[in-house]
Structure formats: C-alpha cells, structure tokens
A and B are shown apart, each in its own frame.
Chain A
Amino acid sequence: MSERYDIAIIGSGPAGLSAALNAKIRNKKFIIFGSKDFSTKLVKAHKINNYLGFYGKSGAEIKDEFASHLEAMDISITQEKVNNVYAMGDYFALMINEKMYEATSIILATGVNFGKPFKGEEEFLGNGVGYCATCDAPLYKNKIVTIIAYDKKEEDEVNFIATVASKVYYIPMYKEEVQVDSSVEIIKDIPVEIVGDEKVTKLILKNTQLITDGIFILRESVSPGQLVPGLIMDGNHVGVNRNMKTNLDGCFAAGDIVGTPYQYIKSAGEGNIAALSAVAYVDQQKRK
C-alpha cells in the first residue's frame, strides 16, 4: 500500500498554492497536484492591480513570483491529473489512471473550468453517457461509441475503445491535427444535444446526427461532483462553510470552485483557511 499523505491538494492556482504554503509551515506531509504553469488563467492575465503587494504586475510576472516563493519553501508540484477521489471513510483514495494515492484529507482547488454540460448530458449520465472511457469500455463491446474530446492526449483512449467497440465516432474539440486509428470515423462538428429514451440513442450535432449506444465526454477537468462522488454542490459551486469544509468529513475546498467573486487574493485567502482546517482535521484524526 502506498504511503498516506496528511493532505492532498488538487489544483495549483492561487488557492492550491496558498494551501500548500500553509501545509508546509504546519509541517504536514502533503502533495499538491497541478501544472508547471500553475494556472492558465493566471498566465493569461494582462495586468493585476488588486493583489495586495503586487502593483502593476502581469499574470506572468506574478506567476514567476509564485514560482520563486515555492522554490524558496522547497515545494514542488506533482504534474499528474487526478481523475477521481473516493471518500473511503477515514481516508481519501485519489485515482490517477492506474495509480493511486491516499490522503487523510483533501483540498479541492481546481477552479471553474469544467465547462457547461451538453443538453441531455446529465440526464443520461450512467445511462450511456460517461466520462471515463477506459472504465466502461468493455460494456460497449460490439456497440457504437461516440467520443467527444477536448485534448489531443485523449487519442490513446479513442484507439483503445476502437479495439472493443464495433464502431467509433470521434469528435475532436481541439485544433491540433487528429491522429487516430483508421477504423475510427472522425466527425468535425459541434455537439448540440444527447437524446434517448431510457438510454442514449443518438447525438445531435449542428450539421448531422449520430446513432450511438454510448457517448464519452473527455474534458480537461470534470465537475467537482464527478471528481469526488458524494460531494454536495451549491449550484455550480462546491458547498462549503466558513472553514471551507464540504459535506464530506476531511474534504475542503477553496478558490473559484466554491463561488464568486473569482479573484486571486480571495482564492489565496480561502486556500489558507482550507489548509488550516485540514491541519486541524488531520491532528484530530491522529489523536483518535
């Protein structure tokens, strides 16, 4: 069994980074998942004048400040994408493809870039609509599967499903050149609605319709309720109290994911609170 972390932080924007600093200061064994650029939103920001202490800097400059801060505190980011988090009772299991990490508490700081679901997507979730192609692929043996993907990385998944399904339609939502198995039919069109009766029967696109048994939607990040099954949402955001605690014991959230305003310093402040709440939770668990 892998070592168990005290705290796993998912997301490397201001909320996640600020949580990591505080976890470090409190001497907790933690891991932070994210990207080397921390946050695409941060890098893209032209000028930021409402972050205390950083007048007139661009997002990219603030990113560099964050990077040197982390380096000074010897914090490194694990560049892996967490697919699912399972609340196992007294710990959380974080799944990364075939790999698993364990943590006593988690902090969700993934921002709000999960996109709007397609019409019919939520209605047919589990009845033909899925987010993990490798998990459910064998159920579609000799059936027709449609995959909508937002990243070129997903092409491997597409090729894998092509070995199982009788027919695969692939709808790439990115601009790069598509390189998939020749048996896969590439459809360059915009999905509009998923329809069916008890189960999915077809996908309606702007210019065409596809008869299909299953639809997998592979987005950059899934909604928090999908990421952590059992998590209670408050509209489009994760429901938290003043301590940044969610409905699941040991699960905290911070930043844009918990609601507006979407601001850097608000996220950093919430990351601070979430980290201290997680520290208190971990200490309490250890005393048990």
Chain B
Amino acid sequence: MIKVVNDKNFNEEIADSDNIVVVDFWAPWCGPCKMLTPVIEELSNEMGKNVTFAKINVDESPIVASKYKISSIPTVMVFSKDTVKETMVGFRPKADLKKIIEKHL
C-alpha cells in the first residue's frame, strides 16, 4: 500500500512513523514518474511489512517540495523519522531501489 501524503499530513505520516518511509515525489505531468509508479508499487508489495511507502504530488504540496529542495522529479527519498537518509533523483530500476532501501532496514 502506498500512502498519499501532502503538506498537511506530512509530519504525522512521515516524521512520526516508526518505520523507515520511502517517499516518491511525483507530478502528473512527469513521464518518468509514471514509469516509476509501478516499480514503487511492486516494492511496496514486497517490502511493505518493514517499510512504509508514500507518494507526494509536488504540485499539490509546495511546502514539502520546497523544504526538501525538490528540483527534478521523480525524486525518491528514504526517511527515518524526520531525517533524510537517502535521495535518489530520476528513474531507477527496481533492483537498484531495493538495494538502497535495504541498507536502511
């Protein structure tokens, strides 16, 4: 399952989570984001027990997008509490993302 997060519920869903949270910053006009969506879905099916997956539409969440200086999408960030552990800019194949996320488990 992928949580839909925005400016309003960002803190409660991410900063207060006990799990590490993988956040996909996306927008509807971004082609590579569309390609990444099924990859993130597959990962959430495989790793969803230990990792929370979330997505943020940067058009609708300008505060979070500017706080984390998103200047290219898709960007995937791995959060532990409110700390960014990893930032990946651009599309990545599933195996690459998985390996990077597993480092933080």
Contact = CB atoms under 8 A, between A and B. Distances in A.
Interface string B39-75: 1001000000000000000110000010001111101
Contacts of B72: 126-127, 130, 135-136, 139
Contacts of B73: 135-136, 139
B96 interface: yes
Given A126-B90, A229-B93, A88 B35 contact: yes
Interface in B1-22: none
Interface residues of A, number: 24
Given A126-B90, A135-B72, A138-B27, 19 more contacts: A84-B31, A84-B91, A86-B91, A87-B94, A88-B35, A88-B38, A88-B39, A89-B39, A95-B31, A127-B71, A128-B71, A130-B71, A135-B30, A138-B59, A139-B65, A139-B70, A199-B71, A214-B71, A229-B92
B93 A248 contact: yes
**How big is chain B's contact interface, by range?**
20 to 34
A139 B91 contact: no
B76 to A, nearest CB: 11
B71 A126 contact: yes
A73 interface: no
A98 B69 CA distance: 27
Interface of A: 84, 86-89, 93, 95, 98, 125-128, 130, 135-136, 138-139, 198-199, 213-214, 229-230, 248
Contacts of B95: 230
Nearest first, the 6 closest Cβ-Cβ pairs linking A and B are: A126-B89, A230-B93, A87-B93, A229-B91, A126-B72, A86-B35
Interface of B: 27, 29-32, 35, 38-39, 42, 58-59, 65, 69-73, 75, 89-96
A199 B69 contact: yes
Contact of B32 (A89, A135, A138): A135
B85 to A, nearest CB: 17
5 contacts: A95-B31, A126-B89, A127-B69, A138-B59, A230-B95
Nearest to A231: B93
B23 to A, nearest CB: 15
A258 B97 CA distance: 25
A88 B42 CA distance: 11
